[in-house]
Amino acid sequence: MGFLSEISLFRYGASRALRKLCVAIAASVALTVPALAENITIAALGDSLTQGYGLPQEEGFVPQLQAWLSAQGAEATLINAGVSGDTTAGGLSRVAWTLTDDVDAMIVALGGNDLLRGIAPEVSRANLVGILDAAQQKGVPVMLVGVPAPNNYGPEYKAAFDAIYPELATQYEALHFESFLSAITERQDMQGAMRIYMQPDGIHPSAKGVALIVEAMGPSVLELISRAR
């Protein structure tokens, strides 16, 4: 065998070995990347706050949260399962068909309309238990968003209602976000915050208010995504 032939064989062997190495690396990456890049589908089960009442579609809670998650590089798709005027009973009545097979996680933000109607705390609790049971049966992690009760129903009612969310979150090992509107209601200048970040009805956030809510809630949603993987 001549010198040039030996060089050719060496080059052929080196090239072949390099190809084998590349294939091995690609196979290793293929085994690990899908788990990181897997798209997570999140259903946001809620009322008018979730639905985006009074706002252009693109400025509502779900679209703004979707944009925030995308900006963080999170591979997630949100489903707007908010219905204006819905109570915890309404959420329970439709949770079964909300939890389709492609839903990997769920945000539950219900209870505000229960408060407006003065529904007994034990009734609201039972409805939320039904929702959490449905999610648990499907193996879907949940973030439970609280709604602090006002004082006008009395201290006993408030204490009973406010306890629902942290207690159920602990019981079902769900994430707990204390209050949907906390990013607005906890600001020092409450009057100024209401004027800038709430709609004239004083109940629903403006587009700027939604942006504050999303910024505050976003990290918890990222944790929910992590749990769903």
Question: Tens digits of per-residue pLDDT, 65-121?
Answer: 999 999 999 999 999 999 999 999 999 999 999 999 999 999 999 999 999 999 999
| pLDDT, tens digit, 9 for 90 and up, residues 199-208 | 999 999 999 9
Q: What is the pTM of this model?
A: 0.83
Tell me, yes or no, whether 148 and 115 share the same domain.
yes
Tell me, yes or no, whether 27 and 87 share the same domain.
no
Q: Is the pLDDT of residue 173 over 50?
A: yes
Catalytic-role residue among 5, 101, 189, 201? 201
Q: Is the pLDDT of residue 28 over 50?
A: no
Tell me, yes or no, whether 112 and 210 share the same domain.
yes
Tell me, yes or no, whether 17 and 45 share the same domain.
no
Tell me, yes or no, whether 87 and 17 share the same domain.
no
User: 19: domain range?
Assistant: 1-37
Tell me, yes or no, whether 52 and 93 share the same domain.
yes
Tell me, yes or no, whether 79 and 162 share the same domain.
yes
Contact indicator for 207, 199 with CB cutoff of 8 Å: no
Alpha-carbon distance of 211 to 197, in angstroms, equals 9
Angle at 32 between CA 30 and CA 36, to 5 degrees: 115
Query: Is 93 an active-site residue?
Result: no
| pLDDT, tens digit, 9 for 90 and up, residues 42-70 | 999 999 999 999 999 999 999 999 999 99
Query: Is 101 an active-site residue?
Result: no
CATH number at residue 85: 3.40.50.1110
Query: Is 204 an active-site residue?
Result: yes
Catalytic-role residue among 47, 48, 124, 179? 48
| Total domains in the fold of the chain | 2
